[in-house]
């Protein structure tokens, strides 16, 4: 016998409220770190579109955008009006809140649809499972994925409020019904999957009310008819409203690939265990699909055998999951689907409902409860480990991006443009968790420009930003690190370096990577001469080092003049009490521009960032620089132009300045660049 939620005893209201709010609390515990993330990936292009709308016109169509999703654009426009420019923390906060509120709404729906015994715990687990669903991480970390979050929130709130209104709960029934319609409007006009609500809502009503307890038809029509009407209006506008139609919709050439990937989310603990046990190099999508169908068929048979009252909920959950993934699998390119786990967000609500029904079937016996508890614990451990890894990846990407934005704001990037070398495109684990799909943190795509990212996070420009990858200076970070842009080397790279006013490279130290300003053709070159080298027509024009606040790093600025190219490398050594504690060897400009590639008469300044060991005493630091032959490693004799005498050990002393020069703060308050003047 299904019982309306409103019949719960008043004395239980506070514990029930606390339990109902658990998904929201869990969402902020898991994803609170996203408030420190910048805009990335699709955020720049989508926010650019929003910036050129008036906040209302997108409801009639957006010619520059390929979809009809006006709700998110209205929110972004309001955000920019409130903050003067788009504010990443507040929009990330909204993402987390949408996820948590959706989980809370789903928990209430599950409690309402399942038979009485154990349904409170199963509702809590379903809401928490929705928040913990590992494939949803990309939907929360990416502001542009707000389309999916608003879709899920609108759909789940609409269904939950509709059931509450039909139950006659809450006293003020008209506001409840109005909020139900408003939720439907938000969900439907946020994403193309929104009209699925016209099917999911009647399905939930049929499951919630057995034939003998069904509410009056006029009340059902009052709640369902406006939702169907909104879905019809959306479908008409999607067909007729102006939008970018340059890429016509067409059926996928390999939908089985997408179905295999998306279906594995329904049984993700099994998918992960299979991956761990078998360790396959490759997996056919059909195998993943067969595994998902086989496991769900066994679970559905269990529900039918042990708890027929929960069969309707189980079938609704499966239909929900299948309907939510079908448009993506049928209409999107498989490669796009494999890299877009956020496509499973709405489907995961149906999956949570299905497994809650399975849990209800197991709840009847002690052994069943133990089995369900063990399976839930396994899913929890797997999800937490997976999401913790994604958290680390996104924070590493976020630190890089915020430091890059700090450099962009301090340098004349908006005027002169910028050349980026080995900026991150994505990082991914060396070994995946699930059978199919890409995992990790995707921050940019080669089809997108870092200039839009600079604009979105700083309101500059957008400046002209070129990005190249350089294989020789890439380092192992312990992950699969994919740089942004095409690979360049040799003369094509040298030509770009000679004309780049500002050059920023990615510096690697262990698992860490960060942007470093290394100079560029636009950096001023001082007059004078610091040292001349006997065996080559090369001069060190200027040299000084700046100790950063906190004593954790040195910024070394050198300037070179080359009369004739030569196969030489430079070194910068940092000593303390005659012991070498840090160094930086190689070529100028981040080891990119060898002296053999310099043209006769070229003069350039460069910066070098040298990290220092922990706890080093700044008073003992000594810095020196020089040149050596690339083939023999023999140092070139360096002469002091003032005296004509050689420097000891062929090492030119570099003056150490105490915090002089312009300083730029990073996201955590540390200095990301000194001596930029």
Question: Using H for helix, E for strand and C for coil, what is the string for 243-300?
Answer: ECCCCCCCCCCCHHHHHHHHHHHHHHHHHHHHHHHHCCCCCCHHHHHHHHHHHHHHHH
CATH class, domain 523-677, is: mainly beta
Give per-residue pLDDT as tens, 570-593.
999 999 988 999 999 999 999 999
Find the angle CA(211)-CA(216)-CA(221) to the nearest 5 degrees.
105
Question: What is the C-alpha separation between 320 and 195, in angstroms, rounded?
Answer: 12
- Phi, psi at 219, each rounded to 5°: -70, -40
What is the pLDDT averaged over residues 509-518? 92
pLDDT at 367 over 50: yes
Distance set, CA 332 to CA 187, 242, 259, 285, 290 (Å): 21, 21, 11, 16, 21
The whole-number pLDDT of residue 669 equals 36
In which band, very low, low, confident or very high, does the pLDDT at 1 lie, cut at 50, 70 and 90?
Answer: very low
Residue of 340 and 281 predicted with greater confidence? 340
Nearest to 136 by CA among 351, 294, 453: 351
In which band, very low, low, confident or very high, does the pLDDT at 15 lie, cut at 50, 70 and 90?
Answer: low
In which band, very low, low, confident or very high, does the pLDDT at 171 lie, cut at 50, 70 and 90?
Answer: low
Which residues touch 101 (CB under 8 Å, ≥6 apart)? Answer: 23, 24, 153, 157
What is the pLDDT averaged over residues 592-615? 93
The whole-number pLDDT of residue 665 equals 38
Nearest to 375 by CA among 270, 530, 281, 305: 270
pLDDT at 265 over 80: yes
pLDDT at 517 over 60: yes
Give per-residue pLDDT as tens, 95-106.
999 999 999 999
The whole-number pLDDT of residue 14 equals 59
- Phi, psi at 561, each rounded to 5°: -125, 130
pLDDT at 664 over 50: no
Give per-residue pLDDT as tens, 419-466.
999 999 999 998 899 999 889 999 988 888 999 999 999 999 888 999
**What does the mean pLDDT of the chain come to?**
90
What is the pLDDT averaged over residues 194-200? 97
Residue 240: Cβ-neighbour burial (10 angstroms; 0-12, 13-18, 19+): exposed
Find the angle CA(364)-CA(367)-CA(368) to the nearest 5 degrees.
50
Q: Would you list the domain boundaries of the chain?
A: 5-364, 396-513, 523-677
In which band, very low, low, confident or very high, does the pLDDT at 172 lie, cut at 50, 70 and 90?
Answer: low
User: β-pairing, 531-533 with 621-629?
Assistant: unpaired
Collapsed DSSP state (helix, strand, coil) of residue 546: strand
pLDDT at 52 over 50: yes
The whole-number pLDDT of residue 279 equals 87
Tokens of 534: 């006997």
Give per-residue pLDDT as tens, 275-325.
999 888 889 999 999 999 999 999 999 999 998 899 999 999 999 999 999
What is the pLDDT averaged over residues 340-344? 95
Q: What is the CA radius of gyration of the chain?
A: 30
In which band, very low, low, confident or very high, does the pLDDT at 169 lie, cut at 50, 70 and 90?
Answer: low
The whole-number pLDDT of residue 619 equals 85
What is the pLDDT averaged over residues 404-430? 93
């Amino acid at each position: 016998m299904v019982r309306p939620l409103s019949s719960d005893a008043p004395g239980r209201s506070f514990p029930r409220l606390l339990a109902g709010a658990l998904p929201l609390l869990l969402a902020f515990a898991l994803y609170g770190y996203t408030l420190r993330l910048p805009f990335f990936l699709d955020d720049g292009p989508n926010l650019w579109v929003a910036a050129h709308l008036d906040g209302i016109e997108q409801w009639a169509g957006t010619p520059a955008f390929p979809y009809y999703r006006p709700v998110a654009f209205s929110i972004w426009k309001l955000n920019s009006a409130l903050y003067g420019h788009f504010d990443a923390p507040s929009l990330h906060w909204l993402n987390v809140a949408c996820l948590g509120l959706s989980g809370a709404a789903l928990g209430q729906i599950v409690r309402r649809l399942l038979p009485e015994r154990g349904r409170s715990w199963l509702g809590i687990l379903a809401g928490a499972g929705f928040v913990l669903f590992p494939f949803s991480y990309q939907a929360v970390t990416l502001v542009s994925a707000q389309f999916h979050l608003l879709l899920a929130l609108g759909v789940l709130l609409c269904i939950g409020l509709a059931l509450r209104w039909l139950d006659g709960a809450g006293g003020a029934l008209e506001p409840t019904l109005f909020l139900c319609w408003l939720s439907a409007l938000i969900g439907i006009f946020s994403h193309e999957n929104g009209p699925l609500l016209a099917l999911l809502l009647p399905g939930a009503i049929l499951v919630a009310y057995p034939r003998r307890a069904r509410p009056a038809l006029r009340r059902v029509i009052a709640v369902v008819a406006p939702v169907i009407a909104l879905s019809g209006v959306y479908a008409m506008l999607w067909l007729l409203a102006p939008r970018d139609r340059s890429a016509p919709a067409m059926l996928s050439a390999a939908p089985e690939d997408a179905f295999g990937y998306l279906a594995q989310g329904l049984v993700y603990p099994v998918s992960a265990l299979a991956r761990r046990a078998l360790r396959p190099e490759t997996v056919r999508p059909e195998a993943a699909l067969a595994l998902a169908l086989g496991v769900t068929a066994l679970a559905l048979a269990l529900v039918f055998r042990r708890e027929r009252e929960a069969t309707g909920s189980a079938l609704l959950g499966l239909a929900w999951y299948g309907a939510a993934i079908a448009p993506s699998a049928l209409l999107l390119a498989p490669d796009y689907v494999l890299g877009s786990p956020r496509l499973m967000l709405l489907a995961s609500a149906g999956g949570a409902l299905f497994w809650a029904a399975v849990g209800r079937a197991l709840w009847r016996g002690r052994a069943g409860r133990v089995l369900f508890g063990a399976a839930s614990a396994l899913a929890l451990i797997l999800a937490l480990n997976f999401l913790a890894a994604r958290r680390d990846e996104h924070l590493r990407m976020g630190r890089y991006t915020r430091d890059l934005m700090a450099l962009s704001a301090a340098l004349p990037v908006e005027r002169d443009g910028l050349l980026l070398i080995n900026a991150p495109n994505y990082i991914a684990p060396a070994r995946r968790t699930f059978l199919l799909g890409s995992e990790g943190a995707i921050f940019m795509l080669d089809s997108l420009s870092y200039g839009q990212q600079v604009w979105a996070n700083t309101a500059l420009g957008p400046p002209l930003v070129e990005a190249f990858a350089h294989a020789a200076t890439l380092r192992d970070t312990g992950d699969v690190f994919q740089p942004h842009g095409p690979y360049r080397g040799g003369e094509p790279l040298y030509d770009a370096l000679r004309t780049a006013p500002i050059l920023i490279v990615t510096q690697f130290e262990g698992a860490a990577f960060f942007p470093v300003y290394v100079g560029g053709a636009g950096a001023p070159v001082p007059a004078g001469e610091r040292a001349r080298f006997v065996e080559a027509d090369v001069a060190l024009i200027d040299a000084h080092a700046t100790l950063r606040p906190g004593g954790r790093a040195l910024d070394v600025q050198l300037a070179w003049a080359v009369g004739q190219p030569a196969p030489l490398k430079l070194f910068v050594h940092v000593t303390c009490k005659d012991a070498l504690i840090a160094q930086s060897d190689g070529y100028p400009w981040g080891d990119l521009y060898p002296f053999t590639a310099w043209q006769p008469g070229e003069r350039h300044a460069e910066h070098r960032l040298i990290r220092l060991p922990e706890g080093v005493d700044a008073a003992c630091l000594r810095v020196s620089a020089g040149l050596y032959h690339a083939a023999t490693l023999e140092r070139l004799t360096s002469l002091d132009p003032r005296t004509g005498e050689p420097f000891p050990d062929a090492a030119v002393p570099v003056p150490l300045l105490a915090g002089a020069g312009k300083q730029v703060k990073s996201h955590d308050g540390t200095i990301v660049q000194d001596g930029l003047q």
